[in-house]
Structure 1
């Protein structure tokens, strides 16, 4: 077993208060192509990792200096490359690629290369093949990261370049027609926080958490992307450096914030009141020598926070108490000796139905690890149904549905307008990670008011998902007892 030290308090000098025995995750498989070259900047052959589940099979998507690799990881001891898409630019100049999917399309970008493009790849024919259905630099040439708000059908491009807009801190596209992205707007000022660029973001149903590098952190409501509302900003916090990335807790009350600086721990930020965000704790370092610790990417799935640390590999924290993460599992993907650089684990993806964890290592490729639990992954929204996107016209009265009270305690009421037609619908409450928290009995929605009894849930923000035969909608619900 390996020893880590719990770091408590927010003083500049950390106090080592306890030792925790960690469980080493089980390696199920590794994939690496020795014929690929490393980047000239960091000698990293590989970068971001993403996961797909369709047709009863599981796939890893990993970026390299050459392009995008689609790997069948259904049987991790026999990983096979099923498809490959070359990047617009390839070779040692490429450091960073990024991916997100919307329905049966994977969106791919690179952060370097004069010939780089936005690529949209049809993945519906896996495992046989994939098809590039959009490959253009006309409106977007480069982007450091992307994030897709699938509930709003919006593609957010972060630190973007190309097209008439030139360079953008943050740029938004409408992808209601998935293969025809439409530029909407760009922003660089969020309630007084002026960002030279937005490095990364998490956006769900219009609520955005923006990591703005050395300019700080912002929470913004993009429900109307043409008139966003800044909810709060934070520029002064413990161990503030290059505000790199993060992920909210399932209840939306906390945010796990990583600054990409040597020796800077991940912070737990109380964001329950965006106008008064507070840093309340720091996470245990994966290495006894804090100066060697560099967090890169963070993702929350169920009751765990997954973090890829460059030199130290994967660390999984138990967040059953979201304000006090506890180290639970680890796996070193790299044996690099710390050299004040950037090497080792880059990305992590924990949403596959099997519960297996995907980790990309900059020099050693893809690692498939056994995850800590499987129950909640069966409901992961990352499982792709190629019938999810359709062109059925939503009745205009659907947009007039009201949900009250806000906040709610024991009951929730839906008010439909008088012109609404009677509709059988399935209603679910989801947390902000897409996990189903409660499924209501099939409900007949009629003009007027419909009442729903709420289960006993922790205080926080949830999503009411309404699935009817001809339409679907999702609205935010705040639970406060």
Structure 2
């Protein structure tokens, strides 16, 4: 009889009480924790304390990020992931989605490319594994084991060759493959009768053949390995994470000898400490240790994330020897071992990497948190991880955020600006960028790029190399007051792209266009802003606009948009723990109106953050959110935008919209906006939300300080342009056309006394002060000039060392500079 580790009487009693009522993933908690896909791009605000990453991490670098909206179809969540390496050496990620499975090329892991998305029956659970050049995927929704031929994937060709389901329910919770033996194991699925494993030979990869079954217990997941040495040499052993039934009961690990598919032998059964639901595990490379994730112990007992360590050196007598933790409270979900490392996908605490050099006491060495809000023991965040690519690329699948692509360690290229601007000049701003290669790597010449989106998609331009690690990003002419998204990238000579911010274009920097901005009206809707609900013609029976701290569902936001805030307007508030569609919009429309605001003094830009979802029901994509503006207090209306019925902004998530009032109608003292959400025609789930409403006036007129002439010899030009130089304002000093990498001395005076100098005219005399600089690789120089300290007038002129001039020096033109108070 196998020896089982002892558990306390209290723990045993808890297991007996809890196990019968827990129904695998199909628990009320799992469904209650559903959240809408994260809206991308994530916009990182500029300013002195701007972040260059959307995620907290240590020792893991983000290369690429493919959000759910980038996959063909409409997907409410992601599930499992795996990887494939073609004979050419190209690497591919495979990710299970709510309504299909997708294949993503990682030849440049910094620019992942979605090759194909196959539709499939809708399910929150979809698992995938690979055998040779075929992928096999299953789901709790049914369809059996579906088969994809990847033999021509390098040419962009994938073939869904069919499916197989030779025994039992067509639903499966998981699939496992032993690549050494060529057998596939269809695991769990459905309710009753209990499904353990159904075993298929993959000798014919397109047509798997059922060769055996084992159904004495429900198997949630399994790893099957072939032993090559020791007493079990030549044997195929299955480590099965199992319960009495899909809802739980006697959770543990069944260790089976599955060598003879017609005579499967139980070697031993392990019960570990405080078991609630035996979810998944993986053996160490030397097959001496097994690591186990229990999916429900953290939420049941309020413990820290706990992974069990099992000594399996004697398969007849496995025994738990220890546990380890990241110190988080999140649920440990799926883990894999590679060398001395354990890679663990732990839902709300993201990816955790442990050093298992001491296999009984793994120590966390790196993490990447894909769910920043908290580490609660709830079912959101990172589902799984695949760490087995030879390139050291790692991929992970996140329920709400899609596919992540990482490398362990620091970024190979570090891109950084001196500051991330909050405002960009309408006339075309410039920004210095530093790109530094880490030891062993180098920047591919000419690979630096700037991407700018002012509302019509990204426009790409090359960075200008200034010498060394210095580059310049030149922004195009931009529309005044418009929100702008931007990022930069560069590649290593090995062909790997790195971005700033990391994860771009799914995460980007945000800025507004203007030299200065005046906020006329701003409300975060944390308190009553005088807005009104209801209008003639409204017929909605439920889902009426209300200002609350929302209860999240797969259609309605869990959080408002305001950082640190709580309240926003939403279309109806269900109850905590309620279902999808509780108090959504039904049987007509519901109207939300802003208070009237005054723009009689001139034009302004109006912006707001909105959420809209019409995609989570049986009849998706049938309704719209309408936004209108009035300049006569609501007597008449002009359309601002219509969201839906289709598109990436109609599936949930916070998106900002902005418009200049004068582009639509004349600004008056009677301005007002309205938001109308409707459910018309066939019943569907419609949810909307509004937050962070602003009315701002942008000054986009650029002021340049007076050019006095006196330039030459040489072609150097000096300018100072931007805002009026009053306190709190800035302008940019630019020197162009000078000799590259040359000494440039700026002479400043309080008076003007031109005298001949080095073949030209030096006007800034007597000299008050001089400051030495060095020009960049194209003979330029640029830096901000802060205003204030006046009123005072000063004069400035550069003298530049230039061996091409007769007297060895060039002179710029002189400027008269006005500083205000």
Q: Decide: shared fold, TM above 0.5.
A: yes
Moved more, 260-269 or 362-371: 260-269
Q: Equivalences for 1:363-442 in 2 at 5 Å?
A: 363-371=400-408
Query: Bigger radius of gyration, 1 or 2?
Result: 2
Match of 2:350 in 1: 313
Structure 2: distance between partners of 1:132 and 1:78 = 25
Are residues 1:201 and 2:215 paired? no
Match of 2:212 in 1: 185
Q: Equivalences for 1:248-397 in 2 at 5 Å?
A: 248-261=283-296, 262=298, 263=303, 265-287=306-328, 292-338=329-375, 340-371=377-408
Residue 286 to residue 112, structure 1, CA distance change in 2 (3 Å):
farther
Are residues 1:158 and 2:175 paired? no
* Equivalent pair of 2:199/2:211 in contact (CA under 8 Å): yes
Deviation at 1:371, TM superposition (A): 2.6
Residue 337 to residue 238, structure 1, CA distance change in 2 (3 Å):
same
Match of 1:73 in 2: 106
Match of 1:211 in 2: 241
Deviation at 1:61, TM superposition (A): 0.5
Per-residue Cα deviation, 1:425-462 (whole angstroms, up to 9, x for no partner): xxxxxxxxxxxxxxxxxxxxxxxxxxxxxxxxxxxxxx
Per-residue Cα deviation, 1:296-317 (whole angstroms, up to 9, x for no partner): 0010111111100000000111
5+ residue gaps, structure 2: 1-6, 12-56, 227-235, 244-248, 411-821
Deviation at 1:199, TM superposition (A): 0.3
* Equivalent pair of 2:386/2:395 in contact (CA under 8 Å): yes
Per-residue Cα deviation, 1:342-384 (whole angstroms, up to 9, x for no partner): 00000100001111111111000111110359xxxxxxxxxxx
Structure 2: distance between partners of 1:106 and 1:169 = 21
Per-residue Cα deviation, 1:46-103 (whole angstroms, up to 9, x for no partner): 011111111221111011112111111221221111112111x13xxx1011111111
Residue 136 to residue 183, structure 1, CA distance change in 2 (3 Å):
closer
Structure 2: distance between partners of 1:166 and 1:242 = 19
* Equivalent pair of 1:143/1:159 in contact (CA under 8 Å): yes
Match of 1:97 in 2: 126
Are residues 1:56 and 2:89 paired? yes
Deviation at 1:152, TM superposition (A): 1.9
Could you list the runs of 4 or more consecutive aligned residues of structure 1 that deviate by over 6 angstroms after TM superposition?
A: 10-13
Structure 2: distance between partners of 1:315 and 1:327 = 7
Structure 1: distance between partners of 2:361 and 2:96 = 33
Structure 2: distance between partners of 1:343 and 1:200 = 20
Structure 1: distance between partners of 2:270 and 2:349 = 28
Match of 2:151 in 1: 124
Are residues 1:239 and 2:274 paired? yes
* Equivalent pair of 2:348/2:378 in contact (CA under 8 Å): no
Structure 1: distance between partners of 2:262 and 2:190 = 20
Residue 322 to residue 338, structure 1, CA distance change in 2 (3 Å):
closer
* Equivalent pair of 1:265/1:293 in contact (CA under 8 Å): no
Residue 146 to residue 232, structure 1, CA distance change in 2 (3 Å):
same
Residue 138 to residue 238, structure 1, CA distance change in 2 (3 Å):
closer
* Equivalent pair of 1:123/1:129 in contact (CA under 8 Å): yes
Per-residue Cα deviation, 1:406-431 (whole angstroms, up to 9, x for no partner): xxxxxxxxxxxxxxxxxxxxxxxxxx
Match of 1:175 in 2: 202
Residue 304 to residue 122, structure 1, CA distance change in 2 (3 Å):
same
Deviation at 1:250, TM superposition (A): 1.6
Q: Give TM-score, length-normalised by structure 1.
A: 0.65
SS at match of 1:106: strand
SS at match of 2:351: strand
Structure 2: distance between partners of 1:281 and 1:100 = 30
Counterpart selection for 2:162 from 122, 134, 143: 134
Q: Give TM-score, length-normalised by structure 2.
A: 0.39
Residue 138 to residue 252, structure 1, CA distance change in 2 (3 Å):
closer
5+ residue gaps, structure 1: 1-9, 14-21, 40-44, 190-194, 374-481
Structure 1: distance between partners of 2:221 and 2:163 = 23
SS at match of 1:269: strand
Deviation at 1:277, TM superposition (A): 1.9
Structure 2: distance between partners of 1:123 and 1:23 = 35
Counterpart selection for 2:116 from 75, 83, 92: 83
Residue 166 to residue 286, structure 1, CA distance change in 2 (3 Å):
same
Deviation at 1:167, TM superposition (A): 5.3
Are residues 1:47 and 2:79 paired? yes
* Equivalent pair of 1:286/1:315 in contact (CA under 8 Å): no
Residue 77 to residue 101, structure 1, CA distance change in 2 (3 Å):
same
Are residues 1:147 and 2:168 paired? no
Structure 2: distance between partners of 1:38 and 1:122 = 23
Residue 218 to residue 358, structure 1, CA distance change in 2 (3 Å):
same
Q: Identify which of structures 1 and 2 has the higher relative contact order when contacts are C-alpha pairs closer than 8 Å and 6+ apart.
A: 1
Structure 2: distance between partners of 1:232 and 1:167 = 20
Per-residue Cα deviation, 1:284-327 (whole angstroms, up to 9, x for no partner): 2242xxxx320000101111111000000001111112222111
* Equivalent pair of 1:173/1:184 in contact (CA under 8 Å): yes
* Equivalent pair of 2:347/2:378 in contact (CA under 8 Å): no
* Equivalent pair of 2:331/2:378 in contact (CA under 8 Å): no
Structure 1: distance between partners of 2:374 and 2:385 = 21
SS at match of 1:300: strand
Residue 277 to residue 56, structure 1, CA distance change in 2 (3 Å):
closer
* Equivalent pair of 1:316/1:330 in contact (CA under 8 Å): yes
